[in-house]
Amino acid sequence: MSQHDDFGPRPGEESVTLPERFDAGLHFIGRLRTPWTRRADCPKNGTQSDAVCTAVVDPLFAPALQNVTGASHLILLYWMDRADRTLVRQQPRHAEGSRGTFSLRSPARPNPIALAVVELLGREGDALRVRGLDCLDGTPLLDIKPYYASTDARPQATVDRAGTR
Amino acid sequence: MSQHDDFGPRPGEESVTLPERFDAGLHFIGRLRTPWTRRADCPKNGTQSDAVCTAVVDPLFAPALQNVTGASHLILLYWMDRADRTLVRQQPRHAEGSRGTFSLRSPARPNPIALAVVELLGREGDALRVRGLDCLDGTPLLDIKPYYASTDARPQATVDRAGTR
């Protein structure tokens, strides 16, 4: 997790001026409840913690939870509402040199939509118990999707962190 | 792909009245170029077509593409701008009975953000050639992320299409 928004761009980073108007709008559908209330406490990614977290869906959207427990895993999309949206190149905390934002999973990006693949442990009312989150308590939830191994799992995928251009 | 928005809810479907105001805003970062100009022509999902498609990033955000070719696979998030956002329960075309929206990958959902895991074939300037898309030509692009097998691949994940409640 980076904290660029508190300090502005660092050397090698590049910010852009975003368009004045948005192209589309989002409705928060609920909130994520996690054990982490400070960024420094968040795990680096969802696989680095066994913590059971909760996705609490607003009553308005709760009917959309029907049948969701048929999935062993879910994709959660959520909104990193504290992220700097202007950075197109940024300096990861533990890397040499800056990198393009789209080569990183940093929350700082033009549309700070984060994605986590989580294990679904159970449902109680409008809340889903899940394992695999890494975000702050209270993070706004945008979407819940069933995870399909056939289309979403690419175990052979590789990332060369050096990049090529 | 469903076309609810053209015809309104079907029997067993449920719509809600969305809040009057949005909670957050999106910037389109580019467009997806695909061979499909009508919904009826789109493949059911990205694995059902070998078509090479293109993600064209706007010049403003193009610096964020640096290093992206280090990844063999990407996650693309895009905006299903024709989708009905009010449906919380919907009737899939080839299924018995209606289901909760969050148990489906239908584009009709409160925040119609679609997700595809694509194979990255190459980059030419501000465009990425990819395989694995299923959407209409001209679909607005929201985000590009590297796919990490360690956090994103769950080949053992299962979905019971009958659901349990």
All residues of chain A having their beta carbon less than 8 Å from the beta carbon of residue B18 are 27
Nearest to B163 among A27, A67, A115 (CB): A67
CA angle, B69 as apex, B66 and B71 as ends, to 5°? Answer: 120
Sign of CA dihedral A22, A24, A27, A31: negative
- Closest Cα in chain A, distance from residue B9 (Å): 14
User: Does residue A17 or residue B12 have the better pLDDT?
Assistant: A17
Q: Which residue of B has its CA nearest to A147?
A: B157
* Least trusted range by pLDDT, from A2-6, A109-113, B61-65: A2-6
Please indicate whether, in this complex, the C-beta atoms of A27 and B18 are within 8 angstroms of each other.
yes
pLDDT at B35: 94
Q: Which residue of B has its CA nearest to A132?
A: B151
Binned at pLDDT 50, 70 and 90, residue A152 comes out as very high
- For residue B41, give the 3-state DSSP assignment: helix
Distances (CA, A) of B165 to A161, B100, B157: 43, 10, 19
Predicted confidence (pLDDT) per residue in A60-89, tens digit: 999 999 999 999 999 999 999 999 999 999
pLDDT at B9: 75
pTM for this one?
A: 0.93
Q: Which residue of B has its CA nearest to A140?
A: B23
CA distance linking residue B111 with residue A61, whole number of Å: 11
Among left, alpha and beta (phi > 0; psi -120 to 50; other), residue B71 is beta
Nearest to B64 among A25, A69, A88 (CB): A88
User: Does residue B165 or residue A154 have the better pLDDT?
Assistant: A154
Q: Which of B66, B82, B119 to mutate to test the interface with A (most CBs of A within 10 A)?
A: B66
All residues of chain B having their beta carbon less than 8 Å from the beta carbon of residue A113 are 77, 113, 142-143
Grouped pLDDT means (10 residues each) for chain B, 165 residues:
56 93 98 94 83 97 97 98 96 87 96 97 98 95 98 96 54
pLDDT at B164: 46
All residues of chain B having their beta carbon less than 8 Å from the beta carbon of residue A15 are none
CA distance linking residue A68 with residue B72, whole number of Å: 31
In this predicted complex, what is the ipTM?
Answer: 0.92
Nearest to B79 by CA among B42, B31, B47: B31
CA distance linking residue A95 with residue A161, whole number of Å: 9
Nearest to A111 among B27, B46, B147 (CB): B27
pLDDT at A33: 97
pLDDT at A7: 57
User: Does residue A34 or residue B39 have the better pLDDT?
Assistant: A34
- Closest Cα in chain B, distance from residue A138 (Å): 14
Asked if pLDDT for residue A8 goes beyond 90, the answer is no
pLDDT at B3: 44
